[in-house]
Chains A and B, each alone.
Chain A
């Protein structure tokens, strides 16, 4: 269960939001909406613990994420608007390296399977710098295929994807919700997630 209690965000001299509350249970998805600059990404960065809130508290399973530290991060999977892939490494090496750093056991077969699902079969051994923008995004998204951690925080996951990939990703997210996972994401295009309870939060 993820709870936000009376959050306030100040960036520079501007207060982006204050008194923000929500509660997200297992199997629920929170859609963050709002125009550019309304503080969506700032809120996500607060939820992953990289940006300390000006006021208020974020709780995961009942205790503050700040107090939990490593334990909270072991439950968290974050996908930012940057792909977090290394151009010099191949898609396969990128996936395996990311899993090792996150302390996850990902076998090479699982990683190859994930890359096949995102449509990168046959390109596993090509350095990422030779891939297109959309393909690089798919390498980043391939992390989600075998992801077992319960809390997913996704910043604009549907950007740069074609329609088939959008449907595929919506399927991956619903599978995660059906397994009892939680997800928070920002998006400008509303995508229909077939399973789980979808809540919406509009920042203005």
Chain B
């Protein structure tokens, strides 16, 4: 069971390393969108501190969306998706591997750069730690839920826009609890409750989403 997951992760990471432009462009998109806000709003630390969690999280959602359309599309186009579906393992495990690999190349870099960007918003050290933790905890859910949307829109013309319409509403709970955790830390209430809920959402979506995705992929492959 773990062999197939690690095999898929290994393959997808190797492919991502050969196509670094994709990773770098999503990361720069995140950096630029987040940096535009302090420039546009001006030097008002109180306002920036209030805006920071929401801005960082919305930018993280959009940056994740950028890489989703290609999650299955490349494999579908060159026929490797068929071979993945014919592997002697449940397709849900193969998708789990792909979701983990997607998180490693899209979610993890966002979490690592987020504290640096948070400084622009005059966030305290505590808030920066919670921000990083929240993005680390929440982005796997974004990859998991996004995979369902990517599979449902596979092979559709104009699938990218449809994918955003389908997936962004499902990201709302992650956004609320992710931004809420940082908000609660800034106001001194403590973000543990929000973080626990975020962890629960992530476990549920990384556990269940691959199986829903597998069902959608089977329909796409018929």
CB within 8 Å of B: which residues of A? 45, 48-52, 69-71, 73-74, 76, 78, 80-89, 93, 97-98, 100-103, 127
Whether B78 pairs with A83 at a CB distance below 8 angstroms is yes
Whether A86 pairs with B80 at a CB distance below 8 angstroms is yes
Query: Is B41 on the interface with A (CB-CB < 8 A)?
Result: no
| Most chain A beta-carbon contacts within 10 A, residue among B83, B87, B218 | B83
Whether A101 pairs with B84 at a CB distance below 8 angstroms is yes
B contact residues, total (Cβ < 8 Å):
27
Whether B82 pairs with A80 at a CB distance below 8 angstroms is yes
Which B residues touch A78, using CB under 8 A?
82-83, 86
Cα–Cα, bound, A76→B86 (Å): 8
Closest to B94 in A: A101
Query: Is B11 on the interface with A (CB-CB < 8 A)?
Result: yes
| Most chain A beta-carbon contacts within 10 A, residue among B79, B88, B221 | B88
From residue A123, how far is it (CB to closest CB) to chain B in Å?
17
Cα–Cα, bound, A84→B77 (Å): 9
Whether A86 pairs with B78 at a CB distance below 8 angstroms is yes
Whether A103 pairs with B89 at a CB distance below 8 angstroms is yes
Whether A101 pairs with B78 at a CB distance below 8 angstroms is no
Cα–Cα, bound, A97→B6 (Å): 11
Whether B87 pairs with A51 at a CB distance below 8 angstroms is no
Closest to A88 in B: B18
Closest to A128 in B: B78
Query: Is B3 on the interface with A (CB-CB < 8 A)?
Result: yes
CB < 8 Å neighbour of B82 from A50, A74, A86: A50
Query: Is B15 on the interface with A (CB-CB < 8 A)?
Result: yes
CB < 8 Å neighbour of B83 from A81, A84, A87: A84
Q: List 8 A-B contacts (CB under 8 A).
A: A45-B222, A84-B79, A89-B15, A97-B14, A100-B11, A103-B3, A103-B89, A127-B18
Which B residues touch A81, using CB under 8 A?
79
Cα–Cα, bound, A74→B86 (Å): 8
Closest to B80 in A: A84
CB < 8 Å neighbour of B79 from A74, A80, A101: A80
Cα–Cα, bound, A86→B85 (Å): 16
Beyond known contacts A81-B79, A82-B78: 14 more, CB 8 A cutoff: A50-B82, A70-B90, A76-B86, A78-B82, A82-B77, A82-B82, A83-B79, A85-B78, A86-B15, A87-B78, A89-B14, A100-B7, A101-B11, A101-B94
Query: Is B157 on the interface with A (CB-CB < 8 A)?
Result: no
Whether B222 pairs with A93 at a CB distance below 8 angstroms is no
Which of chain B's residues 12-47 have a Cβ closer than 8 Å to chain A? Answer: 14-15, 18-19
Chain B 57-99 near chain A by CB (<8 Å), digits 1 or 0: 0000000000000000000011110111111111000100000
| Most chain B beta-carbon contacts within 10 A, residue among A78, A80, A101 | A101
Query: Is B4 on the interface with A (CB-CB < 8 A)?
Result: yes
Which B residues touch A88, using CB under 8 A?
15, 18-19
Cα–Cα, bound, A83→B79 (Å): 6
Query: Is B8 on the interface with A (CB-CB < 8 A)?
Result: yes
From residue B80, how far is it (CB to closest CB) to chain A in Å?
5
Which B residues touch A84, using CB under 8 A?
78-80, 82-83
Whether B82 pairs with A73 at a CB distance below 8 angstroms is no
Closest to B84 in A: A101
Cα–Cα, bound, A93→B89 (Å): 21
Which A residues touch B7, using CB under 8 A?
97, 100-101
Cα–Cα, bound, A67→B4 (Å): 21
Cα–Cα, bound, A69→B87 (Å): 10
From residue A60, how far is it (CB to closest CB) to chain B in Å?
13
Closest to B77 in A: A82
| Most chain B beta-carbon contacts within 10 A, residue among A45, A97, A127 | A97
CB < 8 Å neighbour of A97 from B11, B77, B85: B11
CB < 8 Å neighbour of B222 from A51, A76, A80, A101: A51
Closest to A73 in B: B88
